[in-house]
Amino acid sequence: MHKIMVLNAKGGCGKTTIATTLACYFVSEGYQTALMDFDPQGSSAHWLKIRSPERPAIKSIDAVRPRSGVTRSWQLYSGNETEVVVIDTPAGVSGGKLVDLYHRADTILIPVMASMIDVHAMQGFFSERGRLFRRGGKRVAVIANRGGEKSQAYHDIEALTAEIGIPLLATLRDTQNYSLAMSSGLGICELNPALSIRDREHWQPILEWLTRELPSPRGDGRDPVQGSLPFDGAKLAVS
C-alpha cells in the first residue's frame, strides 16, 4: 500500500481538489483506492458522497469524527485490498500534529498558490519543518497552483524549491474545470476531454513522478471510466 498525502499548513491552496483528482486518477488506472479525510471541513468526504455509484468506487475513510465502538487504528484502517491511499489534510497544522501526519505518508505533495502571500507562508512552513522534509526519508514535491509560469510568484516558488532541494513538479492553471469536477463528484480525468485536455497535460508530470515507484495495479487491468481518457498527453486526441 502506498500513501500519498496532500499537505500544507495554509488553507485555500487547493489541497482537496488535488486529493480528489489523484484519487480519480488511481482508481481509473485500476488501483484499489481510498481517500482519507483529516480535514474537519469534510470536503473530500462530501465529494465522495455525491460521487455517482456508476463511477469506479473510491473507499472513504473519515479520519476526523470518532466512531463509537472502534479503536482509532481500526477507524483509519483502509483494508488489505487497498493499493493507494490519498490523504487530504486540514489547514493550520503545526508542531506535533504536523509531524504525526508526516509520518503517516510515503509521498507528500505540497500545493502552493502562486501568490506572494502564499510564497511567504511556504517560506515559514519550510523554515519550521524544513529539516524534517529534507531528511525524513519521504518523497516530497511541490505543485504551483492557480498561477502562470511567467508570474513573479511562480519564479519565487521555483527559487525556493531549488534552494531547499525539493522538486517543483508542475503548475496547475486557474480554471472552472476544478469547481465543476468538485461539485459533480468527478475528477479531471472524468470530465469531457474537449474541456479538460489542457488540465490533463498539466497533470502529466505530477502523475509520472508519483507512479515512477509504484507497482502495477493488482487487478486485471483498468476499469476505464465511461467517457474519460487517460491523462497521458499523447493519448488525448479528441475525435
Q: Which amino acid, 105?
A: A
Question: For the residues of 70-137, what is the DSSP string, one character each?
Answer: S-HHHHT---TT--EEEEE--TT--HHHHHHHHHT-SEEEEEEESSHHHHHHHHHHHHHHHHHHHHSS
Cα atoms in the Cβ-side hemisphere of radius 13 Å centred on 10: 20
CA dihedral 213, 109, 113, 184 (to 10 degrees): 90
Cα atoms in the Cβ-side hemisphere of radius 13 Å centred on 105: 28
Domains and their CATH numbers in the chain: 2-107+170-235 (3.40.50)
Instruction: For residues 175-187, give the mean pLDDT.
Output: 95
Residue 171 in 3-state DSSP?
A: strand
Partners of residue 36 on adjacent β-strands:
61, 87
pTM above 0.75, yes or no: yes
Q: Is the pLDDT of residue 160 over 80?
A: yes
pLDDT of residue 44: 95
Mean pLDDT of the chain: 84
CB atoms near residue 95 (< 10 Å): 9
Instruction: For residues 102-121, give the mean pLDDT.
Output: 90
Residue with cell 508530470: 205
Per-residue model confidence as pLDDT tens digits over 192-233: 999 999 999 999 999 999 999 898 998 744 444 433 444 443
Residue 89's closest CA among 112, 122, 63? 63
> Would you place residue 70 in the very low, low, confident or very high pLDDT band (cuts 50, 70, 90)?
low
Cell matching residue 164: 531547499
Q: Is the pLDDT of residue 16 over 60?
A: yes
Question: Residues of the chain with pLDDT > 90: what percent?
Answer: 51
Q: Is the pLDDT of residue 8 over 60?
A: yes
pLDDT of residue 77: 59
Cell matching residue 76: 483509519
Contact 7, 91 (CB under 8 A): no
Between 116 and 136, residue with greater pLDDT: 116
Residues listed for the chain: 239
User: Burial, 79: exposed, middle or buried (Cβ in 10 Å; 0-12, 13-18, 19+)?
Assistant: exposed
